[in-house]
Structure 1
Amino acid sequence: MPIEFAPLSIPVERRLQTAAVVQWVFSFLALAQTCIFVFFGLLFTRFWLVSVLYAIWWYLDWDTPSKGGRKCQLLRRSVIWRYMRDYFPISMIKTADLDPRHNYVLGFHPHGVLVAGAFVNFCTDATGFRTLFPGMTPYLLMLPLWFRAPFFRDYIMCGGLIPSDRDSAAHLLRREGGGNAVVIVIGGAPESLDARPGAFTLLLRSRKGFVKLAIEHGASLVPVFSFGENELFDQVENPKGSWLRRAQERLQKIMGVALPLFHARGIIQYSFGLLPYRKPIFTVVGKPINVEQNDHPSQGEVDRLHKLYIEELCNLFEAHKTRYNIPADRHLEFV
């Protein structure tokens, strides 16, 4: 297959957009491992005191990620994220107001390969979340594993990321005064194994923990669908039952992270690489589903609200799909 190289006459603006996405992909795939290597590597150099002092700080700061983290507005408002937004581009569409006197659980779909839409919309100010939803502060949940990486934990907390465990989410939903939006990528890492162009398969039928969480704290549920999320990468065929899929699922259970074999374009050529395609992402935030608070919800109560959530998510998808070039005969599939 001939390689299609990028032309030399590309505008500086587009080069900066590509550079912004390169650093993000590196951060997603390799920055945590790099930080671990640096932390231990410094111990064997004359800069060993840096790691020792950080280790003391880390011990004292251990619970911060589960207590709401530590946002850095300077980083969230960095021009880097505006360049990344414009690379695809990514935009957020509001369909209803969120009352800042209340707390919310936002269910984000689909996961995609690298959850680009969730990151740009909720971990940066590039798409105007604070303008669209004044008084609200978003917190995106991420695997707790990544908050055990030195230095890296501090970086991701700056964007408003918190561990994806019940206690971390509950801490925010218990806050009086409202204004907290806990964003959960419901399908999680396993859903990324089905992320490919044209796919609308969501891992949701058995995912009910977020519904129970919302009931326990009286937090309204908000479905969010990100059109275009699955269009960013191609993925090696891995149908259920194949040896590759079985190996990926086994590794996911052992390591806690999924390993989709994805590919798209490169930095100076368009034929292969790990950079996402320049495909638009439209993240549509649906209307809130009111939830009655109950400290001890029954399974029936959870099931009924879960069913209503799926119905509202389907309505959101159906109402907007033709606007974003989804064929009328395509519908969401749940597993």
Structure 2
Amino acid sequence: MGKPVNSGHASPWPSPPGFVPMGLAALTLLLALAPEDVRHALLTPARAWSWLRACAAAVFALVACLVLVPVRARKRAGPWGPPWLAHFVARLLSASANAMGVHYDVEWPACEIVADQPHVVVWHPHGALAFCALSIGGLLSLERQPIRWYPVVASVIFRFPLLREVVLLLGGREATKETISAIIEAGHSVGVQPGGIFEQLRTSHAREHAFFPPNLTFVRLAIEHGTPLLPVYLFGENQLFSTRPALQRLARFIRRWTGVPLIIPFGRWGLPWIVPRRTRVRIRFGRPVPVGPACARPSDEAVDAVFARYSAELHRLFDEGKSTLPADVAARGLTIVRRTRPERARR
């Protein structure tokens, strides 16, 4: 459920809820089918005006709740919603994953991870649908296994009613520099997925990749706040669904024009989206990578040095746990790709 800063073409505002006009249409239909004396009692000029004002107020309140509240909440540096509801949703998602045949175990290093110290939790890989990040990651975070963190996700997530409320309950926040900084400054850990939608659109069930943005914003922010990087690898995430290169090219084309990553992966029985393949996902936390004292304006050399240490720890973590992957995938190893800047950005 993760995305680094900058979400491409995604609109910063959620789409308006579609059931508002549907509700008004249903109300109109009910009035049309009501007996004549009822319509006359309800639709006298005075009462019609009163009904119109009441409907307008209800629609405004509904839009405010479903659009304006999530817009504020997605930048919130702390919990959102009742804790009991967040735990219920997290357990429900985890139980649903188990019912579909996706089981998991989690392990963190013997070295102490200071629970009260903010970390930048960096998880890999993104996967075709970030299935485990949503269905399992939220529960791990709420139960502090090993720490509580607030994952930042693509802005496009907040355009979909219900999904955005679930993400907010589980701690998901909008992936912007300001939000990440606010979370760290509030004393919380933040979770990022550096590959984001770029990696999602290139996920392969036959290879393991870790994509990183050109400017390594997550590393820069960690150095600015003196916050250690904590790598996490989800062995098996990529094997939950299979992907088709032709459909991925189509998805990249659609995203270029709409901002929406329309991914079409295939799970059990060859069905798209519905049910993932039966897989045991092994979630492994690496050793915290120190970034040194806080530095307001880290140099490119300092960022590259920290990234080199992070990459080395990520490789070590992967090599230690790759035996749990299919043999052919493990043999290919982990490929780390730092994207180059677009030509127009260099000019």
Shared fold by TM > 0.5? yes
Q: Secondary structure at the match of 2:331?
A: coil
Match of 2:271 in 1: 272
Cα distance change on mapping 1:92 and 1:39 into 2, 3 Å: farther
CA distance in 2 between counterparts of 1:159 and 1:172 reads 15
The number of aligned residues is: 288
- The answer to whether the 8 A contact 2:93-2:136 is kept is no
1:143 equivalent among 147, 154, 168: 154
> Which residue of structure 2 lines up, in the alignment, with residue 213 of structure 1?
221
Question: Which string of whole-angstrom CA distances, capped at 9 and with x for unpartnered residues, describes residues 188-223 of structure 1?
Answer: 112122323221122126361110111111111011
Q: Of residues 20, 36, 48 in structure 1, which corresponds to 2:17?
A: 36
Secondary structure (helix, strand or coil) at the match of 1:235 reads coil
Counterpart Cα distance in 2 of 1:184 and 1:288: 15
**Pick from 206, 212, 219: which aligns with 1:204?**
212
> SS state of the match for residue 151, structure 2?
strand
**Offset at residue 158 of structure 1 (A):** 1.0
1:272 aligned partner, one-letter code: L
- How many angstroms apart in 2 are the aligned matches of 1:45 and 1:36? 15
Compare CA radii of gyration and give the structure with the larger one.
2
Residues 194 and 213 in structure 2, CA contact (< 8 A), matched pair in contact too: no
Tell me which of 327, 332, 335 is aligned to 1:333.
335
Q: Secondary structure at the match of 2:231?
A: strand
User: What amino acid is aligned across from residue 181 of structure 2 in structure 1?
Assistant: A
TM-score normalised per structure 2: 0.74
Q: 1:71 to 1:166 in 2, by over 3 A?
A: farther
State the partner residue of 2:76.
Answer: 67
Aligned to 1:3: none
TM-score relative to the length of structure 1: 0.76
Gaps of 5+ in 2: 1-13, 28-54, 338-347
Q: Name which of 61, 65, 87 aligns with 1:77.
A: 87
Please give the alpha-carbon distance, in whole angstroms, between the structure 2 residues aligned to 1:301 and 1:111. Answer: 26
Q: Write out per-residue CA displacement over residues 130-177 of structure 1, whole angstroms, 9 at most, x where no aligned residue.
A: 3532xx3221211123324455533321111101111111111111xx
| Aligned equivalent of 1:227 | 235
Moved more, 297-306 or 60-69: 60-69
Distance 1:207 1:129, change over 3 A: farther
- Letter matched to residue 265 of structure 2: F
Unaligned runs of 5+ in 1: 1-32, 239-243
CA distance in 2, matches of 1:321, 1:111: 17
AA at the equivalent of 1:277: R
User: Counterpart in 1 of 2:103?
Assistant: 89
RMSD: 2.8
Q: Relative to 1, partners in 2 of residues 1:173 and 1:326: Cα closer, same or farther, differing over 3 Å?
A: farther
Secondary structure of 1:36's counterpart equals coil
Q: Does the residue aligned with 2:279 lie in a helix, a strand or coil? A: coil
Counterpart of 2:303 in structure 1 is: 302
